[in-house]
Amino acid sequence: MKSPGNGESDGGQAAPRSAATAGTTDNRDHVQLKVPLIQQSYHWDCGLACARMVLQYLNLLHEDAFQNAMQELQLTKSIWTIDLAYLMHYFGVEHRFCTQTLGVDKGYKNQSFYRKHFDAEENRVNQLFAQAKTRGVRVEKRSVTIQELQNHLSQGHVAIVLVNAVLLLCDLCPSRVKYCCFLPIGQKCFCRSSDYQGHFIVLCGYNKISDSLFYNNPGYADRLCRTSITNFEEARSSYGTDEDILLIFVGS
């Protein structure tokens, strides 16, 4: 339901790569969208980095406007998926936020990842869900299948997905970082813990032949990541994620 939220200072933006174009094969067995990589600055701002990637992909990222949006939406160091949905709506981006839980699961209060901010955030997040329809933020209580995600990607669309970083494994990363969601300079890897660790990624492609998915991990600024569909399903359905997926539609 959320990403880390107890950093020490406000997030920044790494230099984005070139504007996005889609690269696909004719039979759609392989899709790899050129979504620019923007690295998170702290352990709590992965969701905002993913939002920046998506907006840059849509040629809508202007840092002054992004900062204004954060102020108007009162975004802090505790970013939930519903916050990212409101952020997409702010920029006029067609979106669909699919989740298994419309609001805050009270069981998260007992999880170490959520415990520190749970009491302060519960009412705020529940209110965002309650107001979503009247505010034009599209929320649906349902799961998203792999087939739906592949079809979504094949049309040049992307998705922000909440995963358990402890479980997500990249096939392309070297072994020294294979089991870590990110290693910012001067910070320890929070994935060394076996407890749930929420982390946002941008899904940007697939290969049906190898049953794999491509994604941008905001922990890195220098690589495209790939995981098996089996591993992705495990990481995104872990208790704590609510199977949150923010579908982003391009050119609507």
- CATH code where residue 90 lies: 3.90.70.10
Domain that holds residue 84: 22-248
Distance CA 190, CA 198 (A): 10
Query: Residue 232: pLDDT above 70?
Result: yes
With 90 as the cut, is the pLDDT of residue 244 above it? yes
Q: Is the pLDDT of residue 251 over 90?
A: no
Establish if 170 belongs to a structural domain.
Answer: yes
> Which of the pair, 17 or 240, is modelled with greater confidence?
240
- On whether residue 5 sits in a domain, the answer given is no
Res 170 pLDDT > 70 = yes
Query: What confidence tens digit (pLDDT) does each residue in 7-28 have?
Result: 333 333 333 333 334 444 435 8
pLDDT of residue 114: 65
In a domain, 177, yes or no: yes
User: 3-state SS of 181-246?
Assistant: CCCCCCCCCHHHCCCCCEEEEEEEEEECCCCEEEEECCCCCCCCEEEEHHHHHHHHCCCCCCCCEE
Residue 16 in domain: no
Tell me whether residue 176 is in a domain: yes
Please indicate, yes or no, if residue 237 is contained in any of the structural domains.
yes
Indicate the pLDDT class of residue 109, thresholds 50, 70 and 90. Answer: low
Domain contains 3: no
Structural domains of the chain, count: 1
pLDDT for residue 76? 87
The answer to the question of residue 57 being in a domain is yes
Write out pLDDT tens, residues 73-93.
999 888 999 999 999 999 999
- CB 156, CB 22: distance < 8 Å: yes
Mean pLDDT of the region 200-221: 95
> Does residue 233 carry a pLDDT above 90?
yes
